[in-house]
């Protein structure tokens, strides 16, 4: 592998497989499978960007295989291969998640465009998911910072109140400890009447 995007061509006939391989081999790493079961095994073991899948195969129906592929990797772009007489089947495949379809015999330009579209769409989806994960990380990080700032503010607030109480007690020795006793009694009374904890802190 040379880091190029990967395309899997699935067709029971050698001619269409080779035709697609020749069109795509200059730009993509092309793998081939002659039947659906082999293709599904390859998809289970390795990562592909695009699968080109024949609708009519002797072992399994292409629509059935498409559904399985989408269950295995919902981001994997699937392009269906059809003959002129089965365009309605290709449209059904699109309803089940296929990206597009190619008509036999293949037009080189059409093949290149639709595969390029598939690769771009998969990449766009992956980038979108990466951005979402990054945004989630930023959100979580900001939440932690906000909570830390809130705790710091509360700590400084508590320190300021205690400093004011100490200043009052220092001025009048007769009332020393009075503010703290009032605070303690207030908390005891609030707990007895089931004040919410955040209101007790304010009290």
SS3 state of residue 54? strand
Q: How many folded domains does the chain comprise?
A: 2
Rounded to the nearest angstrom, the gap between the alpha carbon of residue 121 and the centroid of all alpha carbons in its chain is: 14
128 and 191, same domain (yes or no): no
56 and 122, same domain (yes or no): yes
Determine the pLDDT at residue 173.
Answer: 67
Average pLDDT on 47-62 reads 89
104 and 191, same domain (yes or no): no
Determine the pLDDT at residue 85.
Answer: 58
Q: Looking at residue 91, which CATH number applies to its domain?
A: 3.40.50.2300
Residue 172 CB: number of other CB atoms within 10 A?
9
SS3 state of residue 105? coil
Q: Which range is most confident: 35-39, 188-192, 199-203?
A: 35-39
d(CA 51, CA 76): 7
68 and 128, same domain (yes or no): yes
Tell whether 124 is covered by a domain. yes
Q: What residues make up the domain containing 73?
A: 6-134
In tens, the pLDDT along 159-192 reads 887 788 777 777 776 666 777 788 888 888 988 8
Tell whether 144 is covered by a domain. no
163 and 124, same domain (yes or no): no
């Amino acid at each position: 592998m040379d880091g190029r995007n990967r395309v899997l061509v699935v067709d029971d006939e050698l001619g269409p497989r080779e035709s697609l391989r020749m069109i795509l081999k200059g730009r993509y790493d092309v793998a081939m499978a002659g039947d659906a079961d082999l293709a599904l095994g390859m998809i289970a073991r390795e990562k592909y960007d695009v699968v080109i899948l024949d609708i009519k195969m002797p072992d399994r129906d292409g629509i059935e295989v498409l559904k399985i592929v989408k269950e295995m990797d919902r981001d994997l772009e699937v392009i269906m291969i059809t003959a002129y007489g089965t365009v309605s089947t290709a449209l059904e495949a699109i309803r089940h998640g296929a990206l597009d379809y190619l008509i036999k015999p293949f037009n080189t330009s059409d093949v290149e465009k639709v595969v390029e579209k598939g690769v771009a769409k998969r990449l766009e989806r992956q980038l979108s998911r990466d951005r979402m994960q990054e945004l989630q990380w930023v959100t979580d990080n900001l939440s932690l910072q906000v909570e830390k700032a809130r705790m710091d503010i509360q700590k400084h607030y508590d320190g300021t109140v205690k400093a004011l109480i100490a200043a009052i007690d220092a001025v009048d020795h007769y009332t020393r400890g009075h503010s703290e006793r009032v605070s303690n009694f207030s908390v005891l009374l609030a707990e007895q009447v089931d004040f919410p904890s955040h209101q007790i802190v304010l009290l």
